[in-house]
């Protein structure tokens, strides 16, 4: 018995030596690599998709974003009247009261906690590509979830800009007949006073244009780019920028947008204007671009910023809580291009 115990102890001793030797001969532990920290500024993130892929119009009211209407493709085969409320904090969507009148190619903006929708065109589809613009003006109250019809603009127009400054609304530029031989591009500017429900003519743009972007920064309105009619009856893309001073009812020039493009959209964060997406006409392709350029009115300069995650044109764009949001849009310019359901978030 004693002999067996001694043999067992010997075996255990030998096994312990083998185990320790194998540990000594094992490869050294790989050093841990610190994860690459996420950027803290000038970066994009993809968020949860929209409920429906479309080309929408986006407006911010009280920390929520509202997607107004939109179309199923660039020929308006389906014109949506839906209004979807997006909460960026929870990435959730809530259906709201639908638009009372079907339209597309309209403009929208927030004024005193309500969303004003103006202009556009009624019909879509190939048979209506030359249909004329409308002068309609409807107002949505997100808190009451109700719509109200207000005074129409003097000029029926589509592909116009709409922005708010000092408690007034400004309808700028636009076109009467798009894709038509008798295309009529406007330089007209109308000011809307919600207190009296009236529109008043103001100083015209120096250059008539449509599909431009208009944003308010530093107490002035900046109108960026757009399209115009050339001498051959076609359209040219504008790279010029005009600045409106409501105190003097006058327009002045600002530096041109560096990248000559069309079908882009914009938003304002901390007094700076961010212009995103679109495509570069006559570049040999109609593919959308990811470009993001920022204009600082304080220094009167343009700066290229981080590209979007996804290249899109004609998206819905607005700023909310210090970030820029880009909704939907398509992969290329052209007639009948279907949209995406992307939601892209930018932190400056």
Whether 11 has a pLDDT exceeding 80, the answer reads no
- The tally of domains found in the chain comes to 1
* Burial call 1-38: b when 16+ CB within 10 Å, e when fewer: eeeeeeeeeeeeeeeeeeeeeeeeeeeeeeeeeeeeee
pLDDT at 183: 73
Task: List the CATH number of the domain containing 226.
Answer: 2.120.10.80
Flag whether 37 is in a domain.
no
pLDDT tens-digit map of 113-128: 999 999 999 876 554 4
pLDDT tens-digit map of 170-192: 999 999 876 655 578 999 999 99
Neighbours of 249 (CB within 10 A): 11
Flag whether 67 is in a domain.
yes
Round to whole Å and give the CA distance between 186 and 338: 29
Flag whether 335 is in a domain.
yes
Give the side-chain half-sphere CA count within 13 A for 250: 4
pLDDT tens-digit map of 187-203: 999 999 999 999 999 99
pLDDT at 79: 93
pLDDT tens-digit map of 153-164: 999 999 999 999
Torsion of CA 83, 124, 158, 72, to 10 degrees: 40
Flag whether 284 is in a domain.
yes
Q: Which range marks the domain in which residue 274 is found? A: 55-347
Average pLDDT of the chain is 88
Averaged pLDDT for residues 11-34:
50
The model carries a pTM of: 0.88
Under DSSP, is residue 139 helix (H, G, I), strand (E, B) or coil?
strand
pLDDT at 282: 78
pLDDT at 230: 63
Whether 32 has a pLDDT exceeding 80, the answer reads no
Averaged pLDDT for residues 50-78:
92
Collect all residues with Cβ–Cβ distance below 8 Å to 300 and sequence separation of at least 6.
254, 255
Measured CA distances, 107 to 1, 111, 115, 234 (Å): 99, 13, 10, 24
Token code pair at residue 314: 């004609």
Flag whether 169 is in a domain.
yes
Question: Do 82 and 98 form a contact (C-beta atoms < 8 A)?
Answer: yes
Question: Do 52 and 82 form a contact (C-beta atoms < 8 A)?
Answer: yes
Flag whether 4 is in a domain.
no
Give the side-chain half-sphere CA count within 13 A for 48: 9
- The winner for highest mean pLDDT among 22-31, 175-184, 273-282 is 273-282
Measured CA distances, 211 to 151, 172, 220, 330 (Å): 23, 10, 20, 16
pLDDT at 179: 60
Flag whether 13 is in a domain.
no
Flag whether 29 is in a domain.
no
Question: Do 92 and 100 form a contact (C-beta atoms < 8 A)?
Answer: no
């Amino acid at each position: 018995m004693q002999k067996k115990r001694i043999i067992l102890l010997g075996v255990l001793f030998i096994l312990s030596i083998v185990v320790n030797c194998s540990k000594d001969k094992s490869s050294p532990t790989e050093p841990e690599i610190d994860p690459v920290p996420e950027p803290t500024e000038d970066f994009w993130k993809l968020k949860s998709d929209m409920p429906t892929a479309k080309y929408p119009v986006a407006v911010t009211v009280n920390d929520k974003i509202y997607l107004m209407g939109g179309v199923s493709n660039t020929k308006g085969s389906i014109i949506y009247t839906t209004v979807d409320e997006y909460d960026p904090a929870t990435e959730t969507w809530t259906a709201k009261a639908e638009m009372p009148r079907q339209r597309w190619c309209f403009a929208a903006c927030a004024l005193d906690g309500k969303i004003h929708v103006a202009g556009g065109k009624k019909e879509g589809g190939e048979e209506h590509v030359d249909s004329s613009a409308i002068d309609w003006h409807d107002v949505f109250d997100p808190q009451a979830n109700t719509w109200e019809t207000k005074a129409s603009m003097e000029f029926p127009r589509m592909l116009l800009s709409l922005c708010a400054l000092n408690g007034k609304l400004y309808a700028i530029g636009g076109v009467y007949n798009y894709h038509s031989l008798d295309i009529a591009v406007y330089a007209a500017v109308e000011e809307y006073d919600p207190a009296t429900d009236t529109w008043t003519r103001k100083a015209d743009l120096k250059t008539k244009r449509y599909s431009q972007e208009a944003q308010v920064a530093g107490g002035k309105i900046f109108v960026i780019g757009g399209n115009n009619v050339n001498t051959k009856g076609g359209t040219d893309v504008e790279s010029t920028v005009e600045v409106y001073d409501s105190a003097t009812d006058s327009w002045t020039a600002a530096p041109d947008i560096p990248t000559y493009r069309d079908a882009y959209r914009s938003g304002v964060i901390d007094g700076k204007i961010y212009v995103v997406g679109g495509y570069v006409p006559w570049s040999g392709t109609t593919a959308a671009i990811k470009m993001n350029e920022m204009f600082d009115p304080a220094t009167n300069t343009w700066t290229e910023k981080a590209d979007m995650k996804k290249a899109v044109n004609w998206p819905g764009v607005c700023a909310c809580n210090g970030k820029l949001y880009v909704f939907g849009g398509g992969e290329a310019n052209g007639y009948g291009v279907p949209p995406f359901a992307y939601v892209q978030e930018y932190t400056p």
